Structure 1
Amino acid sequence: MKHKKTLTSIVFFILGLIGLHAQENTTATGGVATGSGGTVAFSVGQVVYTANTNASGTVSQGVQQPYEIFTLGVKETELNISLKAFPNPTLDNLTLQISNYNNEKLLYKLYDMQGKLLNKGQIVTQQTKIGMTSLPTAIYFINVVNQQNKKIKTFKIIKN
């Protein structure tokens, strides 16, 4: 029994040592240096650095990996308008009010909970009335979109 206890202790000791090899590099310090020419992130204290490259790609060993962020695409201009929908909940008519309206062509689209398009129309003034008298009591969604069908705002409307 004593021999079995000693053997078990040795096995657990060896298994404990395996985990000690996980941390091979320690970084003494690091940080970010900023100047008029840009920003550089750095780490000090890493002794070994290797990079393995093949046809599939590159794998770099190390504490700190460089990366670049590129923004691709067309610069989009934001609309500086404010949209409100009232009264909510509503019984008959809903009013869409737009502030800072710059005469850009906007559309509204009224959907039910299943995503079915029920009504749509063009917003031509700062206050647009949407008739909801014929609709049953339910929850609806109104999307305000621009000419390119880009969603500007979505309202959740409760019809009593």
Structure 2
Amino acid sequence: MKTTFFTLSLFLVSFSIQISAQETLNTSGNNMSGSTGSATASIGQSFYETMSSSAGSVTAGVQQTYEIIPTLGIDIIDINLSLNIFPNPTTDILNLKVGFKDYNKYRYDLFDSSGKLLTSQSITQSTTQITMTSYPASIYLLKISKGGKDIKIFKVLKNK
């Protein structure tokens, strides 16, 4: 009888407790943004922990942003590929400029910030225009690949 009462009490108490993930009581803080990006800072965060290894580092705490390094990909040392995107940030048209002759062997894939594939096309000319007008203001990833191998990934900022 006592264990049943205790179990029932514990069950009811657990449903009455509100869980607040990624919330903290800070003494101060600010959101800052500029033409090159944005940052958020908080003062008064009570704890955080940084773990490092040869692969990188992770800082665990209450206020962590989701950030992707601007260019990712495989380092190809013996080949010099010239890939540029402009303007970044963009509002409507994003230009992809390829500085090598066999561009028709490459393709681009555009992903939203959740990883959903939005468009995928073969590169058919040295400067390719990618229409961004129909997409909301957000962060996008533009992946350049050749034969199924990722060559370079750009972080694209889309403004209103």
Under a length normalisation based on structure 1, what TM-score does the superposition of the two structures give?
0.49
Computing the radius of gyration from Cα coordinates, the structure with the larger value is 1
TM-score for both structures, normalised by structure 2: 0.49
Greater relative contact order (CA < 8 Å, ≥ 6 in sequence): 2
